[in-house]
Structure 1
Amino acid sequence: MIVRPYGDSTGDGMVQVSFTLPLPAGKRAEGAAAQLAQKMGIHPAMVVHARPIGPDFTFFVVYGPVSHLVDTSAVQVVERDFPLLTPAEVNQAVRRGLRRRLVVVGACIGTDAHTVGIDAILNIKGLAGEKGLEYYREVKVVNLGAQVAVDELVSAAVREKADAVLVSQVVTQRDAHLHNTAALVQAFADRLAPEQRPLLVVGGPRFDESAATELGVDRVFGRGTTPREVASYLVHRLVPQEVLA
């Protein structure tokens, strides 16, 4: 299926982009924004919003049509390859399959202080009407919070005999989330044999969900992930399949 962006009418190709230029607000800055948008394939480019950010920067919103087409048959995404379970089904599967509580250790590592993501998955209040993993009777949650050193997280995972380690990364400047993930994977490799290592799951708005193998982790979750999805994935990976049949 071939599609074009939709703006004012079907197939008109209209798109809206926003960006910041290191230029003081004014006509020259707006002209530069329009020129950049045209080089991006937006023609004609209309600067519909310009706002100064201090004396030397300007934020823009540009609107206009593009000629590009999208072939939806060529789009590659990571589809959910496990059934979505209810909390009761998760508890039952863990109880029957592991005969003990499933242990999850979570944290934001490095200098990342944004706990909204990890708390949404782990804390009982959850996200979008779904309870977090603390709500599941058969799941033991150890939430270490923010700005946790990698070595501290590894030690906690070993001490708690974690089945899975969940790491949320929101700070992405200079690819901090990728560097922190690499450090996490290496720290576990230095401490534990591959067969002893817990599942490593990372998540955040700037992660590529298809990059798990490249990053050396077991799963990458992107924006919009819910506690129920994470719980279902953990059961899928950690509980023997014959129990789930």
Structure 2
Amino acid sequence: QMKEFYGFTVDVRHGSELLTLNFTGQSARELLLADLKALVGFDSVSGLMTERLIKDECCQRAALRGAFLACGSIAEPKRSYHLEFAAHRAEAAELIGFLLKQLDIRSSLLERNGYTVVYFKEGELIAEFLLQTGAHVSLLLFESLRVDKEMRNTVNRVVNCDNANAQRIANTSARQLQLLRELENSNVLGLLSAELQEAARARLANPHLSLRELGEIMDPPIGKSGMNHRLKKLETIAAGLPQNEDAAHITND
């Protein structure tokens, strides 16, 4: 068909994965490349697509799909979110960035080892790119990995928060126990009000409980803020108690 249309002979070679068309002659080359540019919008000399190719959204998606196959890569989602195009020419990278922008995908540029790299790191943008370029199987796999990763991150945050709370409770309890024992050893504890004595003995007997849990075992039960108020008052009394102060000088508060 090419011989009939263009008037020159084409040598067809079949490879394992590629079909190669070979022809000779400058005029044949120029004619074929001119038609290629006119028909599909690709300039083989500059290696760039013409405006005609990128006007339609479907063509923009196809161009990005081809660009990704040619120079794109995506990082392992379990480690980080990163998709990039490493272009030999800055003009090609800028065109890729323009095409991404047309699909509302924000990207950035950087120079690396002689390449101009177009990249973006947000998981949602990577998912959108896979959707827009028709990579539906890869999209499902990526989203599955992304959900697993975010779930693990959420669990880790909760565990870290619980650990921090447990450490804070332990530190507070240790400080209170030391001060309350000083009150007890100074015979001051028995001079305090019944409410403060109850709070002190509850903390001494239950060093592992939180304020909320301590408040629940009061008679009658009190809230977290009420329990905190009583223990703070006990801490203030104990902290202001000199080592040689007589117990009789402490008023029953």
TM-score by length of 2: 0.19
Structure number with greater Rg is 2
More helix by share: 2
More strand by share: 1
Q: TM-score, normalised by structure 1?
A: 0.19
